[in-house]
Each structure stands twice: as C-alpha cells, then as structure tokens.
Structure 1
C-alpha cells in the first residue's frame, strides 16, 4: 500500500471516528479546546488569527473567535481559488457566507490578511501524530500555505484522533503545537 493509499484509508477511519463523538462530549471538548488555545502564549501575543469554519465534525471554535474579536485581534478565514489559499479578514462572524465546498467564508470584498511573525494560524484536519505529523483532507492547501507562513501554527484536534505518528509524504508539514481537549503537545516542526 502506498503512503497516499494509507492516508486515504486513515481519512475514512478518522472521519467516522469524529462523526461518532456524542454531541455532549463534543461540546465539552470544544469548550476545553477554546480555553486551552485562549491560554496559549501565541494567542495572547497574536494580533492576527488565521482560523477556519468548522465542518464535518471539526472542533467548533466560534466562542474563541468571538473572544479574539472582543480583544481587538484581527480574524481571517481562508478563501480557496484553484489550488491557492489566501486569508481574508472579517469584522464580524455574521458576515461569513457559504463558499467553496459549502464552507463558511468571508465575502468576496473582504480585505486580504498579511501574516507576520505575530500571526497565529489554527489549522483544521482529521488527525495528528504525537510527533507533529498531521493528516489533512488531501488537498494540500495548508501545506502549500505553510511553505511561506512566518507565524505560529496550532492544530486543534480531539484526543481520540491523536496517534503516535501518521504516514507522511515529502510535501507534508509537521505542526509545532497540537492542542487537544486535554492540553498541548509541543514539537519542533
């Protein structure tokens, strides 16, 4: 089995595992994830957060996003055009509308975000390895984005989707900070 085939099979397993998390357990875990990220030094120091809209059972971090806006931090969501992903800022979560793949996205005229070393990127995905490996959805959008991203990445994931390691390919980026509802794991990315 090739690495691509392994990853494809693992994506199916992880998606099924995540969709099987009971709603009450998921709500408790989501709150714990928000609290853990809010306490993270990278969140406290960030002036810009690159975030995602939760889909298909991903952690719901909306309370964290509202907190960031209340603290005066800029908030930006991804927009994918072709194989490129850019982030665009919003002043309110109410401006988000269904975009590509049906995922809530900023309006077409939303300003482009310009990440710096003080930018925190929260990445979506299906699973994480304790060694910093990450399993995304297979499009490579975040891996390409991370090639030039100057800030800090945090990958919020449910503890039940944490493995010792995950299959990787040459283009896959490791993440330095993985946060679960039970706390943070740090790695050298």
Structure 2
C-alpha cells in the first residue's frame, strides 16, 4: 500500500473506531477499567518494574488512576507524557500525589513543573490507542507522539491498554509505526512480541 493510501486507510479506520469507542458508556468504562487494572497490578512485569510510564485517560479510555496510586504505594516511580510544544514530540515527566495539573492539548491532563525523566530509565510503558490488533499494531490519534518517543525506550516493555471492543483483525502500519509488545484488555493479556524473553505471565 502506498503512503497516501495508507494514510487514507488509517483516517477512515480511526474515524469508525473512535465512533465505536464513544458508544461505551461511562459506567462500562469504569467496570472495564477495574478489570484491566486488576490484571495489570498482579502482573509480574508490573510488580518488577521500578519506573512505569502511564497515561492520563480521556473519558473514553481505560482509566489508570487506581493503578498509578497502587504503584506509588509500592514505591515505584510513575511518569506520564507531557507535550514539549513541538508537534509530535513529548517527554516523560515524574508525578506524585502532590502534583499540580492543567488541561493541555486534546483535553488531556498534564502536570505542571514536573521533572523530566530519561526515557532509558523507564521499565514499563502503558499506552492507550484508538485500537490494536493481535500482532501489537496500534492505531493512535495520528500525531505520532508515541512512535517518536518509543524510539528512545528500546529497553522498556510496551503494553497497549484497551478493551476487547477495540481489538481489530488488522491495522495498517507504516515503517515508522512502533508496535507494542503486549496488549491488555478486560479479557486478559495478548503477547505480541515473541522475541521478548522477559514476558511474565499472570
């Protein structure tokens, strides 16, 4: 598929899958999120990780607040994305229970005055997406923020966090798109990267 056709296909798929994702009711998001988080916080890779990159969920994404609080209680460092001001670029910044927040681009909460963390220090990355497939391919919002950022985190285990309704048979990928190693839904883990030898099982 040519790049132009690939981009067109992605836009069309993104539009339809966003519409499907928005049909999930808030109460259902809460229930599904609790199931996903329960699996994650009992997962050996979560328990072993010292620095975890999470995300601040939009209203139609899996909620990770309880996971973040659990990580703090276990003495882990939690980082989240923060836009740099340059389109497509973001940093990982450390947060704690005292962090102050603002609403940034796309309506996402971002911390104020949070210290930047070296991407090479991150053990586990949890990221959302419009959809995933079982090969670990991810459809994001189209900005390429994670694709650029993850090029600096080869050591991290990358986990796509979603719900089973947002799993699709195939997502078209470009050469610069970064697949995830694992996908987690309310139904459990899908291990995508067979080359990773450190994948623990719940």
- Relative to the length of structure 2, the TM-score reads 0.87
CA distance in 2 between counterparts of 1:39 and 1:16 reads 32
How far is the alpha carbon of 1:132 from its aligned partner?
1.1
Residue 179 of structure 1 corresponds to 184
Q: Is residue 79 of structure 1 aligned with residue 82 of structure 2?
A: yes
Q: Which runs of 5+ in 2 are unaligned?
A: 196-202
How far is the alpha carbon of 1:24 from its aligned partner?
2.6
Q: Is residue 37 of structure 1 aligned with residue 40 of structure 2?
A: yes
- Equivalenced residue count is 188
How far is the alpha carbon of 1:187 from its aligned partner?
1.2
Q: Is residue 148 of structure 1 aligned with residue 145 of structure 2?
A: no
SS in 1 for 2:143: coil
Q: Is residue 70 of structure 1 aligned with residue 82 of structure 2?
A: no
Aligned partner of 1:160 among 154, 158, 165: 165
How far is the alpha carbon of 1:99 from its aligned partner?
2.2
How far is the alpha carbon of 1:90 from its aligned partner?
1.1
Relative distance call for 1:85 and 1:118 in structure 2 (3 A) is closer
Deviations 1:44-85 (Å, cap 9, x if unpaired)?
Answer: 111111111111401111111111111111111111120321
Relative distance call for 1:42 and 1:96 in structure 2 (3 A) is farther
Residue 101 of structure 2 corresponds to 96
Structure 1 segment 96-115 matched on structure 2, within 5 A = 96-107=101-112, 109-115=113-119
SS in 2 for 1:185: strand
CA distance in 2 between counterparts of 1:117 and 1:126 reads 27
**Contact 1:45 1:118 (8 Å CA) reproduced:** no
CA distance in 1 between counterparts of 2:107 and 2:23 reads 22
CA distance in 1 between counterparts of 2:192 and 2:121 reads 18
Q: Which runs of 5+ in 1 are unaligned?
A: none
Cα RMSD (Å): 1.7
How far is the alpha carbon of 1:23 from its aligned partner?
2.6
- Relative to the length of structure 1, the TM-score reads 0.93
Q: Is residue 134 of structure 1 aligned with residue 138 of structure 2?
A: yes
